[in-house]
Amino acid sequence: MLPPGKYFTDGNFAATEGALYGGCRFFAGYPITPSSEILERMSRRLPEVGGHFIEMEDEIASIAAIIGASNGGLKSMTATSGPGFSLMQENIGLGMITETPTVIIDEMRAGPSTGIPTRVGQGDVMQTRWGSHGDLAPITYSPNSVQESFDLTILAFNSAEIYRQPVIIASDQVIGHLSEILTVGNPEEYEVIQRLTRKKANGNHNTFSYSDDFIPMFVPGTGFRGNVDSLTHDEMGYPSNDASVEREMLEHLLGKIKRNETKIIRFEEYMTDDAKVIVVAYGITSRSAKKAVKNARDEGLKVGLFRPITLWPFPEGRIVELAEKTRKFIVPEINYGQYSHPVREFSRRETEEIHFPPGAIPDFKIILREIERSFT
């Protein structure tokens, strides 16, 4: 593992090393800007630590392979960007319905389609929530620094294990490529959740449990004789066409996240205590937003910053609380309005969108001007 110390490095390096720290021992991927450096570094690092790397034929194969590897017993991940993330959607649903822990880094770039491969965007935010068909309760982290690219990747591996589902890290091109200080602490400072498993079944080979939020995975090859199925299934993993089984399964899949939301949700606030206007920003945009808020405070304007670190589950409770003493939210994003929608829905306050076209880092002055306008 990366020895404790200070490193001047980029987000892709930090995410790779964070993954290894979090116990990742299998990577399957397909090259795509701006995340390719993760794949390249994994190809060198994984064999050194006794892990496995494979470059697959496409992103559909990559996500299928990491789900297969996780069911085989290893913590696994892939890294991609918009076009590859789109290809992965069907099997993100497979990971959800089969309750398979794995981690997917989506480094957002300008879209739609091939867009501008080398330039930043935040257009996949809703896709990380609603991209795969059917009802899902995804967990999505949004790092805004090299340090968080390391820390949140470890956390994502832990959450994947605890909640037994794919966890998404929605990073972006700038965070992946910018260089700044990464501080790696002593190993004791990091909690790493080990995979819990069930081996040979003693008569009871139910693959899943709908009364327990958490039941360990079985390991193939131990005589467990479990069935894992992409079809709607009962606790045995056996397929069913019954709407009542669908309900039971879905309420388990959604409920295990809903019931633990307060443990999962993370956010950071800056000067929100007396704020009349709150800027909600994530990823690279949150850094421009923070500068705008600082400058506005210097001008005496009562404005604060709310930065969701988990984009999903949506930090609904905190947004509702903040809305009680806030008259307006401003949501700058590098897209044409995505995260602004739940902010407006849950705050029930005036919510102003600032649309930064993908391709450039948001100019803090544009956010500042919008804050100033809110106080006139």
| Interface residue list for other proteins (CB under 8 A) | 25-26, 28, 44, 47-50, 52, 54, 56-58, 60-62, 64-74, 76, 90-91, 94, 200, 218-231, 238-239
Q: How far is the CB of 52 from other proteins (least distance, A)?
A: 5
Q: Which residue, 195 or 291, has its beta carbon nearer to other proteins? A: 195
Q: How far is the CB of 168 from other proteins (least distance, A)?
A: 18
> How far is residue 372's CA from residue 297's CA, in Å, rounded to a whole number?
10
Q: Which residue, 52 or 291, has its beta carbon nearer to other proteins? A: 52
Are the CB atoms for 347 and 319 separated by under 8 Å?
A: yes
- Phi then psi for residue 252, to 5 deg, are -70, -50
Q: How far is the CB of 131 from other proteins (least distance, A)?
A: 15
Interaxial angle between packed helices 11-21 and 146-163, expressed in degrees from 0 to 180 and rounded to the nearest 10 = 30
- A 10 A CB-CB count for 234 gives 18
Alpha helices by DSSP H, listed for 98-226, are 125-130, 146-163, 173-177
Q: Which residue, 60 or 116, has its beta carbon nearer to other proteins? A: 60
Residue closest to 103 by CA, chosen among 36, 20, 186: 20
Q: How far is the CB of 233 from other proteins (least distance, A)?
A: 9
Token pair for residue 174? 């700038």
Which residues lie below 8 Å from residue 108, measured CB to CB, with a gap of 6+?
A: 81, 82, 120, 121, 122, 123, 124, 125, 170, 171, 172, 173, 283, 334
Q: Which residue, 60 or 366, has its beta carbon nearer to other proteins? A: 60
Q: Which residue, 1 or 181, has its beta carbon nearer to other proteins? A: 1
Q: Which residue, 232 or 272, has its beta carbon nearer to other proteins? A: 232
Are the CB atoms for 62 and 78 separated by under 8 Å?
A: yes
Are the CB atoms for 67 and 230 separated by under 8 Å?
A: no
Q: Which residue, 75 or 109, has its beta carbon nearer to other proteins? A: 75
Q: How far is the CB of 132 from other proteins (least distance, A)?
A: 11
Q: How far is the CB of 326 from other proteins (least distance, A)?
A: 44
Q: How far is the CB of 54 from other proteins (least distance, A)?
A: 6
Task: For residue 27, list its beta bridge partners.
Answer: 53, 77
> How far is residue 107's CA from residue 303's CA, in Å, rounded to a whole number?
30
Q: Which residue, 73 or 117, has its beta carbon nearer to other proteins? A: 73
Token pair for residue 304? 């604060």
- A 10 A CB-CB count for 81 gives 27
Q: How far is the CB of 152 from other proteins (least distance, A)?
A: 24
